[in-house]
Structure 1
């Protein structure tokens, strides 16, 4: 993945093709996001862990957390614990930088991969875009998505094998659940971006990258914990999520992401973070709440939702219900 992200973003049109309504200024938050975030993270970890929990001794929890922190000092080794992206994706993303590239030229490149063709058509016909009539051709699908929509779709396709890898132990169980969050976080962060003067595509990219460290963390946990289990403590889970996000940031730096994207991942949720970090933090919170609502762990009108989200963010929460996991 080295260097291609910089080449891509250096020519990206940051605000073009924003989703309709996304540029509206967000309302003021109704509560302290940091306090709400800890409670949401605790519930999210419970959902992730599910039945695969055991009462781990403190030294086991400490060993896992220490190993995650140690990997932040060795990002090259951490990066080797996750797969790399398909070769076709960087080629397509570079083409999207070219203002003169035609829809037909893009379609011919997408057509090289039958899986990618199916992804583009599925996206164009999704409830998110709501076409008046079914989209049946690749050219029509690419025209509907627009360059920003296609960029974000390709980024999701690129990251899917990184997150949803075939693994053993708890990491294998968690991978599709983490990917569900990654996709929702990327969309939510991109919707939050315009109102915060953050770059739409960089917000999407940060949302997809944020969970890479968590997959690495679960691989480490599988080496320490028995039989595909993870510690039951939600306090441990909240700390694991926090340290994993920092690990994602250093892996992003190792992969030559722009500094502001890597920094945003590390600063997500901090009230004095950059606009990109704020977009990511809000997107992360919205995505987790959508997952918890869909799982029946939180109600649509639960106090946790009302206190964590303002009106604009609640509309985004509703938008995420149209996304297929």
Structure 2
């Protein structure tokens, strides 16, 4: 079964939600709270940090001075009006290309096929999806235009996102970044799939959910880069308290980075909420979907590794 057919196991993808053009800026100042000792993690919630680092369970010890330094370093970046360019994933420049392509999907099918056909990788992925068992019951797919008509707008947008965003998770240099990098794409892909699945029952756009899941780990890549560049040598595995605090910070980092990426109005609203409210005090409904998808994705990934 293809990755996409697993995304919608109950039938055809729903039509995407429509909305106005995303706002171009958010000038509201962000209040950055001092890093505080977080509450003890809930026992039945699986944290993502140990899986990303490929280490054992987080230790049940207080935050160490070194961990405090790491959290403070991340907090200083969160106090900035935007993420510095040198902290963004190197392939983040591909996101404007994604935005442009997604906004062109309201063109006639022949025009879309012509544009997609200029990218061999993207065209191959569209044909592969349309030829998957999920769609093949409707007949043999012989050309790109037929494939695009078959998978529909939602399917096309999701394929575009998957193909263009994969390079974002190439491993940057550094102890933490290098350790987590090889696992980051697997996690982001699983998170995107499960967020897409859970979006519709929650009344959210499937594509917004998929984008949120696919790009959410940029918060982790930025956090690891900050810590690596600060020369901080974290103990591995770190403490539970540190893991909980860093998880909250990475959600805010995602929001701060994603404010540049006006892909859809729903995605922009999620990014703004993440930046201002974090995960614990979030008000956007997709945040709850992300949390639920996180557990499903981790359960799947852990099962695959055992």
1:36-60: per-residue Cα shift (whole Å, max 9, x none)? 8665443x32222125999999222
The equivalent residue for 1:247 is 253
Distance 1:88 1:22 in 2: 24
Aligned CA distance change for structure 1 residues 21 and 149 (closer, same or farther; 3 Å): closer
Aligned CA distance change for structure 1 residues 21 and 89 (closer, same or farther; 3 Å): closer
The equivalent residue for 1:151 is 157
Quick one: which of 267, 271, 282 aligns to 1:262? 271
The equivalent residue for 2:93 is 85
Quick one: which of 17, 20, 37 aligns to 2:11? 20
> Structure 1 residue 220: deviation in Å?
2.1
> Structure 1 residue 166: deviation in Å?
4.7
Q: TM-score under structure 1 normalisation?
A: 0.68
Aligned CA distance change for structure 1 residues 53 and 284 (closer, same or farther; 3 Å): closer
Quick one: which of 208, 212, 227 aligns to 2:214? 208
CA contact (8 A) 1:45 1:234 kept: no
Aligned CA distance change for structure 1 residues 293 and 256 (closer, same or farther; 3 Å): same
Distance 1:80 1:38 in 2: 37
The equivalent residue for 2:136 is 131
Aligned CA distance change for structure 1 residues 274 and 89 (closer, same or farther; 3 Å): closer
CA contact (8 A) 2:251 2:279 kept: no
Aligned CA distance change for structure 1 residues 38 and 94 (closer, same or farther; 3 Å): farther
1:120-154: per-residue Cα shift (whole Å, max 9, x none)? 23333456x36346745322332232101111221
Aligned CA distance change for structure 1 residues 185 and 253 (closer, same or farther; 3 Å): same
Q: TM-score under structure 2 normalisation?
A: 0.71
CA contact (8 A) 1:212 1:248 kept: yes
> Structure 1 residue 95: deviation in Å?
1.0
Aligned CA distance change for structure 1 residues 58 and 212 (closer, same or farther; 3 Å): same
Aligned CA distance change for structure 1 residues 183 and 70 (closer, same or farther; 3 Å): same
Distance 1:242 1:126 in 2: 38
User: Which runs of 5 or more structure 2 residues have no equivalent in the other structure?
Assistant: 1-7, 15-38
CA contact (8 A) 1:48 1:174 kept: yes
CA contact (8 A) 1:54 1:230 kept: no
Instruction: Work out whether 1:196 is the aligned partner of 2:202.
Output: yes
Instruction: Work out whether 1:69 is the aligned partner of 2:75.
Output: yes
Quick one: which of 155, 158, 168 aligns to 1:162? 168
**Aligned residues, how many?**
263
Instruction: Work out whether 1:273 is the aligned partner of 2:283.
Output: yes
The equivalent residue for 1:120 is 126
Quick one: which of 274, 277, 295 aligns to 1:285? 295
Distance 2:129 2:56 in 1: 33
Distance 2:11 2:42 in 1: 28
Distance 2:191 2:201 in 1: 16
Quick one: which of 99, 103, 126 aligns to 1:94? 103
> Structure 1 residue 248: deviation in Å?
0.6
- Pairwise CA RMSD: 3.6
Higher mean alpha-carbon deviation, 238-247 vs 272-281, is at: 272-281
The equivalent residue for 1:323 is none
Distance 2:221 2:165 in 1: 12
Aligned CA distance change for structure 1 residues 241 and 123 (closer, same or farther; 3 Å): farther
CA contact (8 A) 2:82 2:256 kept: no
CA contact (8 A) 2:50 2:58 kept: no
Higher mean alpha-carbon deviation, 108-117 vs 253-262, is at: 253-262
